[in-house]
Structure 1
């Protein structure tokens, strides 16, 4: 029994993880991604439909003080971002928080973390893809006056849906870009991100033309409780800043660029969110925000400000591009995490096979794309999609604990970035993650518990027996 427990808690030396970086069965990943591309990867994964949708839900909770809610949520995310930055610079590999947990808390915790990331990435990208058809229809309706039939834009059983063809199409488009290579994917993502930032800047310019300072008073109509309630909701608009850490083995200068990319992306996203929130509540009284029509809240404000529909059309186009960017970056992150887990023997070896010509894990990418396409095309995700948030927060908490452990066990390990105010920062990171998790609905916890039970069963049936670390130390 003791030997089993020791195997479950055995850590993989950070030096060994770094030494194995970039190598897979059949070839190596190619280091092509610059600081700019890495930053935009994280921005692409973070700056998605959240700001187009969640603002309309958060404003009724906090009023004009929703601006402070975005700042509070950013501070909450910052604690975990600083921990990610330290570990990404110390252990610059594809596995993100999975690899960090393996180096600090042991194999079982690493598996649990990797399993949580599968929930975060695979299910969340399917959930995002499901909504693409609706935004596409909104765009077509404003531009041409017609829309695609519900049978191909909704999942079975959802508003007359038969198969969500539009969701499958956006997943296939992202897959095609990923198979072309990491550099090509990064370039496409950079274009997507710059377009959606330009659209949000356009919204701010238009909204500020209708800005009335009286709309900001009273600034805190719902009190501090309203700000914290809104902050808990908008926090999920920040999930995704860790995407750059999944590109650790394809970055040109990972020790320098990964920490910078993670922190820069959080700053960029926060500035965009605060400006959009300020413009929105200044242009339209907060009492008029309807949580039932959140999808079109920014488009509605833009239309009101200009007195026509052309501005809302541009906003709808921005939402379509935003989803495409999220699908691309999150699908990429999922494949790289599975690649790292396969290299450790915890998943079948097919996930680590690299095409020698393209230098990308082709089979891995196709398997993930097929799985996500089935989810997005045929299954109404419902509450399961919300469970992605709890999986993400769990992974964030593990990363914060990992910083504390690694500083204690390997204080002399070279670190290109050190979390400031240690150990206060990672401790606060853990506390904030737990507080937000406790605020989630009971059905979300149930879905998470079921997912974890399936994950532990999979580990003991396969990963425990095939772990390369365990075989190497027998």
Structure 2
């Protein structure tokens, strides 16, 4: 009934609602506006690209998490395929994304609240002093909820998610019925900023950030009653439902905008209530009842995502301790079966991240890049384990059809979106990883007298991989990655694709020759 103390109390409904609770958060409140400003009506293509990319990664996870259902799967899986060193490095990346997720949602709540409680957000979109205090208070509430047993947390999230799904669907239908201008889809061109605008929308407007919520089911794999049956349904189903919902919202938003507000194009779109776009449009359309519901939802939807973020983050700490990647009390759970130390740390570090990244867009780009970096690693694990543990001898409960090519394509697409998030995000990410690596090396040298105990032969490729992504983002075109422009869009695409394939081949060949722990996991099923 337990895995290392975690209680198996999560059913299929709870898992799919957990993932949907992560997908439908502040992304729907801000994403359609930001995507439209970046790509015009072609924002629909951006949502499709993001949905397909995440769905490929979700299928990869469906095979891995049903074969190896563990808490903290995003770091447990690299450990099974490549050893502790790679898992440790990826835990830093995953942790960065998780720790900035809840602060991003808290910031979204405060940003919308600024429409009726003025003074919480400054003119540049960053939190004021009062806004910072309010965000910290919200984080404390999210942490408190997560001290409850997992079944209660999922029950609370389930109620919130039903509301969160109902309001966006109601909004899309109401807007389509109230006002729809077909001319908005062609007046300034379907893709006024070209392919670069579409790619930028995928990476920086909240599209990928919204979809990354599917990871909740992955992180709760160790607490699923029937992971073989429930996880594929939860992972794939939540992404598909999220795509349909966001596509409907994007169409409704584009059609509802007054053509007069587009006189200077989509990038210069302005209307009353822009900081709360759907609520602002509802007010302009005379639907005050909907505007009220949207302002209420602006607190509920992000709060639901933050609750799930604080559900997943402590379990990452738990997994790191349980897998032997860190020392200390991280693997301890409370009487309710909750990794309580992880909850406390997630709250404290989340508050710290609000200081250098006090705005929604600044936070979501870091979250999205970190998430994709960790998701791409699942593709590496799948291809490696398919080689070292052939499915003919080690059957999986769920086998992904054309698993190797799908995982390879997912890895390449993830790398493209990471680079599209831009040079600044790449600098923040790689600077953080470099600092963590130096500190880790110092600790290992002090505690072990050297590095012979580390599985370097299996993980050495991670250094050129990270360095290559950083270099390509900084060398990329100014209109896409905000780099120095040394590479054109075409040159960047060709080089990045070839680089991704090379890294994938080397990584797959560097896996553990005899992944004993992975074999034990499958044998114990």
Aligned counterpart, 1:12: none
The Cα of 1:309 is off from its aligned counterpart by 2.9
Query: Out of 162, 177, 190, which is 1:220 matched to?
Result: 190
1:265-284 map, 5 Å: 265-284=238-257
Go from structure 1 to structure 2 and tell me whether the alpha carbon gap of 1:221 and 1:34 turns closer, same or farther (over 3 Å shift): same
Go from structure 1 to structure 2 and tell me whether the alpha carbon gap of 1:415 and 1:444 turns closer, same or farther (over 3 Å shift): same
Aligned counterpart, 1:300: 280
The Cα of 1:51 is off from its aligned counterpart by 1.8
Q: 1:170-219 CA distances to partner (integer Å, 9 max, x unpaired)?
A: 21222222111101100111111111111111111210111243433367
Task: Answer 1 or 2: higher relative contact order, Cα 8 Å, separation at least 6.
Answer: 1
Whole-angstrom CA distance in 2 between matches of 1:112 and 1:433: 18
SS of equivalent residue, structure 2 residue 243: helix
The Cα of 1:162 is off from its aligned counterpart by 5.3
Query: Out of 347, 350, 359, which is 1:369 matched to?
Result: 347
Q: Is the 8 A contact 2:314 2:340 kept in 1?
A: no
- Is 1:333–2:304 an aligned residue pair? no
The Cα of 1:60 is off from its aligned counterpart by 3.0
Between 410-419 and 180-189, the greater mean CA deviation after superposition: 410-419
Query: Out of 29, 39, 42, which is 2:6 matched to?
Result: 29
Query: Out of 423, 442, 447, which is 1:442 matched to?
Result: 423
SS of equivalent residue, structure 2 residue 397: coil
Whole-angstrom CA distance in 1 between matches of 2:128 and 2:154: 37
Q: 1:320-371 CA distances to partner (integer Å, 9 max, x unpaired)?
A: 111101110011111101101111222233111112x312122221222222
Aligned counterpart, 2:232: 259
Whole-angstrom CA distance in 2 between matches of 1:60 and 1:158: 20
The Cα of 1:470 is off from its aligned counterpart by 7.8
TM-score w.r.t. the length of structure 1 is 0.84
Whole-angstrom CA distance in 1 between matches of 2:385 and 2:254: 44
Q: Is the 8 A contact 1:347 1:462 kept in 2?
A: no
Query: Out of 200, 215, 232, which is 2:168 matched to?
Result: 200
Whole-angstrom CA distance in 2 between matches of 1:91 and 1:395: 17
1:61-460 map, 5 Å: 61-138=38-115, 141=116, 147=117, 149-150=119-120, 160-161=128-129, 164-209=132-177, 210-217=179-186, 220-222=190-192, 223-233=194-204, 234-285=207-258, 288=262, 295-305=275-285, 307-355=286-334, 357-376=335-354, 378-381=355-358, 383=362, 386-411=365-390, 412-460=393-441
Whole-angstrom CA distance in 1 between matches of 2:181 and 2:22: 33
The Cα of 1:380 is off from its aligned counterpart by 4.2
Q: Is the 8 A contact 1:213 1:282 kept in 2?
A: yes
Go from structure 1 to structure 2 and tell me whether the alpha carbon gap of 1:163 and 1:47 turns closer, same or farther (over 3 Å shift): closer
Whole-angstrom CA distance in 2 between matches of 1:74 and 1:294: 26
TM-score w.r.t. the length of structure 2 is 0.76
Whole-angstrom CA distance in 1 between matches of 2:221 and 2:269: 39
Q: Is the 8 A contact 2:330 2:339 kept in 1?
A: yes
Whole-angstrom CA distance in 2 between matches of 1:366 and 1:83: 31
Aligned counterpart, 1:3: none
Give the number of equivalent residue pairs. Answer: 435
Q: Is the 8 A contact 1:132 1:166 kept in 2?
A: no
Aligned counterpart, 2:479: none
Between 276-285 and 29-38, the greater mean CA deviation after superposition: 276-285
Whole-angstrom CA distance in 2 between matches of 1:446 and 1:407: 34
The Cα of 1:226 is off from its aligned counterpart by 4.1
The Cα of 1:374 is off from its aligned counterpart by 4.1
Whole-angstrom CA distance in 2 between matches of 1:291 and 1:232: 20
SS of equivalent residue, structure 1 residue 63: helix
Whole-angstrom CA distance in 1 between matches of 2:11 and 2:274: 36
Q: Is the 8 A contact 2:22 2:308 kept in 1?
A: yes
Go from structure 1 to structure 2 and tell me whether the alpha carbon gap of 1:463 and 1:252 turns closer, same or farther (over 3 Å shift): farther
Q: Is the 8 A contact 1:54 1:294 kept in 2?
A: no
Q: Is the 8 A contact 1:335 1:364 kept in 2?
A: yes
Go from structure 1 to structure 2 and tell me whether the alpha carbon gap of 1:207 and 1:457 turns closer, same or farther (over 3 Å shift): same
